[in-house]
Amino acid sequence: MQIRIVSKKIQLLRSQYIPAIRTPEGHLQKGTGRATQKIIASFDRWLEKPPPAVVSRLTKEEVEQLKAWLEALKEKDRERDLKIAIDLVEDYMNRATEGIKEFGPIETKKAQKIRKACDRLEKSLQPAKRKRKRKTRK
């Protein structure tokens, strides 16, 4: 089974090979000797799992293949979202600073949450310190 994303849909395709049939003269009969693809089902790309109607059309192996593919897609989306967040963090912090300057101080609880988030960000920006192994003298 092949799986592909077309626009906002996930399409599931099944390929079938049609064996070559030759005429008495030795020519290939039209429509033979090639693979054909048929769309089994399609569903919304943003669903976390396929609808039951789609699963009922698949074999057990195809269901397992689809689950593995969806997990890989979910991880790929997660990585993309995190990279975007890293790219945007400076801009959002600058905009938040402008907002605080323009609208005045914010609530204490909100300020504490922001400080904690900034501390976590600061820690993650620091390079990991490696412990050096010391050679023991004999």
pTM over cut 0.85: no
In tens, the pLDDT along 51-65 reads 999 999 999 999 999
CB atoms within 10 A of CB 1: 15
Domain boundaries, the chain: 2-47, 79-125
**Above 90 in pLDDT, residue 84?**
yes
Q: Would you give the DSSP letter of residue 33?
A: S
Helix (H) or strand (E) holding 94: helix 60-103
**Above 80 in pLDDT, residue 39?**
yes
